[in-house]
Structure 1
Amino acid sequence: MSQRGVFATNLEKLLLYSLDDDNLVSEDCKKMIVKIYDHFQLALHQIENVNNIFADSIEEAKENLQKQIKGVEKEYISILGIFASIVLAFVGGITFSTSVLQNISAVSVFRLLLVVDFLAFVLINVIYILVKFIFTINEKNAKLFSVKAMNIACLIIAIIIVISWILNVNQIPNFISEFLPWSK
């Protein structure tokens, strides 16, 4: 870069010297000096253009690389999220079923059903949130199952269980068997 600057300065001095009419420089030499000056200016312009193009391509490559890295990160998070939701669903479901079956004789039926309904509510919502998060990260808009309908179903089941518990529905078969003549 410094050598180019020195060469440009010397060439400009030579051009000014040759164009001065007081100096005795032939017309052929003047034409050659002007051509050399023009070629040098063209070469400088080309070098600047190449440097600009190179700098622009580096910036573009950086941006593309950053986009690709973000895409790869999203894919990794998606894979981990899918794995986590599958593990949560299966392990949670198996643990849930195991605990329900172990405690089936220890508590009342209504309390057991209410706990089962609440755990199902929590499990459904956690899985829905995980899957929705994965779709949001990947900027995809997919129609998932209706969590609102599932929540309403869990709420209705819980209300039915509480009402049955309050009305002591498990005593209805004993009540009916006492008053019906054919059950005695």
Structure 2
Amino acid sequence: MDKEQEKMDALFQLLDELLEYPIETSDDISDAELETYFKKFSRIYCNKFRHWYSLISDYLGKRTPDVYSTLDNGLRLIADYGKRVHPKSDEVNAGIDKLLDHVDLESVRIDRMEAVRCFTDETKNLYAATVQSSSDAQNKAMEVQKNVEHYHEQSVSILGIFSAVVLAFMGGISFSSSVLANFASVSMFRLIITIVLLGFVVFNALFILLRFVLHIVYSDPTKKKTSRGMIALNIALAVILVGTIGAYIFGAGTTIESWGATPEKTSTSTCEANS
């Protein structure tokens, strides 16, 4: 067993030597070098030595696939040289042929394993991509389903809000009509205060309802800020309201009511005052 192991080690050293100087064609090696290699193989394949295929497989498995063709070319040239120059060395020629056959078989086996590994990796990648695509499709389907489920609720909400908008607008118009119908019998201050308060309620109610519709449709957080136009309108209404109340407090009512008095009424009032 020790002698066989020694010969296997010598065989591996000889194979390393063949790989150290790549041989592609017969021009890359001379007959003298072939003779030297054949003698080294003769010292190994003597006394009915048989190399171990498992160790050959392990040896080739530790090399890259590009060395298989180099080793195959070198062994084939040596085997052809032995049959041509040493035809009577049957034991050595048979050993080299078996070694060449094992190298070719192992090369084919490793190449197929590499092809299977590449195919397996591609299959795994394809499966992972398929799983990801399926997951994305399921997420999109769930999102669409949620949108469909909320569509009815959103439609009902929007219709209800628009109904409220119409009612608020029509209510404001009706109230304004009733106020304007009694324009002659109502104090100017009361009329202005009523119109300002009505405008404040109606415009803010319409703005809130329409903004809620916009929030349902777009759901955009950037659009939740208060409109500058509504702020300016509320400020203007507040200024008018405060100015009207201030004018009433400081007695501007007498001056305003005298604007609508006719000259006849003014003279009559003056005569009555003189008498």
TM-score, normalised relative to structure 1 = 0.56
Aligned residues: percent identity? 9
Task: After TM superposition, list the pairs within 5 Å mapping 1:104-115 onto structure 2.
Answer: 105=175, 108-115=194-201
Query: How many Å apart are 1:52 and its aligned residue?
Result: 0.8
* SS, match of residue 160 in structure 1: helix
Q: Structure 1: which amino acid aligns with 2:238? A: V
Q: Structure 2: which amino acid aligns with 1:126? A: F
Does residue 241 of structure 2 align to residue 165 of structure 1? yes
- Separation (CA, whole Å) in 1 of partners of 2:135 and 2:262: 83
2:54 aligns with one of 12, 31, 38? 12
User: After superposition, what is the alpha-carbon deviation per residue over 1:10-64, rounded to whole angstroms, capped at 9, x for unaligned?
Assistant: 9525768xxxxxx978133332222221111111111111111111112222333
Q: Structure 1: which amino acid aligns with 2:99? A: K
Aligned to 1:117: 203
Task: After TM superposition, list the pairs within 5 Å mapping 1:7-156 onto structure 2.
Answer: 12=54, 26=94, 27-72=96-141, 87-99=156-168, 101-102=170-171, 105=175, 108-133=194-219, 151-156=227-232
Aligned to 2:187: none
Aligned to 2:262: 181
- Separation (CA, whole Å) in 2 of partners of 1:111 and 1:59: 66
Higher RCO (C-alpha under 8 Å, 6+ residues apart): 1
Q: Note if contact 2:196-2:237 (Cα within 8 Å) is conserved in structure 1.
A: yes
CA RMSD of aligned residues (A): 4.5
* SS, match of residue 94 in structure 1: helix
Query: How many Å apart are 1:100 and its aligned residue?
Result: 5.2
Query: How many Å apart are 1:154 and its aligned residue?
Result: 2.0
Bigger Cα Rg: 2
User: After superposition, what is the alpha-carbon deviation per residue over 1:72-94, rounded to whole angstroms, capped at 9, x for unaligned?
Assistant: 55556666777766654442121
* SS, match of residue 219 in structure 2: helix
- Separation (CA, whole Å) in 2 of partners of 1:133 and 1:100: 25
User: After superposition, what is the alpha-carbon deviation per residue over 1:103-146, rounded to whole angstroms, capped at 9, x for unaligned?
Assistant: 75599544332222222232343334444436x9xxxxxxxxx9
Structure 2 gaps of 5+ residues are 1-51, 59-90, 180-193, 248-252, 266-275
Structure 1 gaps of 5+ residues are 1-9, 17-22, 137-145
TM-score, normalised relative to structure 2 = 0.41
Aligned pair count?
Answer: 153
Evaluate the alpha carbon distance shift between residue 160 and residue 62 of structure 1 in structure 2; reply closer, same or farther with a 3 A threshold: same
Evaluate the alpha carbon distance shift between residue 133 and residue 11 of structure 1 in structure 2; reply closer, same or farther with a 3 A threshold: farther
